Amino acid sequence: MSHEPPILTPEMESLFFRIEHALNIAEGMAMLIGENEPADPQVLLRPGYSLQKITVAMMALSQHGRRLLHELREQHVRVTLH
């Protein structure tokens, strides 16, 4: 079995880009939610949840996903297309 790192194909890079884009959108949404506090008083959240807890969790999840994506990218060898 070869111990060479996998090649980062254009298709794989496209997938990584789309994942990163989704993480950016989630982080942006969390910031927008946080900026628009206080929430509509008509909106009922489950007991124990607050808008702040939700936005912090969304930001943390996005940042963790970004770190994992960075690690995954580092495991691949880039292909240079001419």
Domain containing 32: what range?
A: 1-8+24-40+47-77
Query: Is residue 14 one of the residues assigned to a domain?
Result: no
Number of domains observed in the structure of the chain: 1
pLDDT tens across 6-27, in order? 888 888 889 999 999 999 999 9
**Does residue 61 fall inside a structural domain?**
yes
pTM value > 0.75: no
41-81 per-position pLDDT tens digit: 666 667 777 778 888 899 999 999 999 999 988 888 776 66
Q: Answer whether residue 13 is part of any domain.
A: no
State residue 9 phi and psi, 5-degree precision.
Answer: -80, 165
- From CA 36, how far away is CA 42, in angstroms rounded? 15
What is the overall mean pLDDT for the chain? 82
User: How far is residue 54's CA from residue 38's CA, in Å, rounded to a whole number?
Assistant: 13
16 within a domain of the structure (yes/no): no
Q: Is residue 71 part of a domain?
A: yes
Encoding tokens for residue 3? Answer: 């111990």
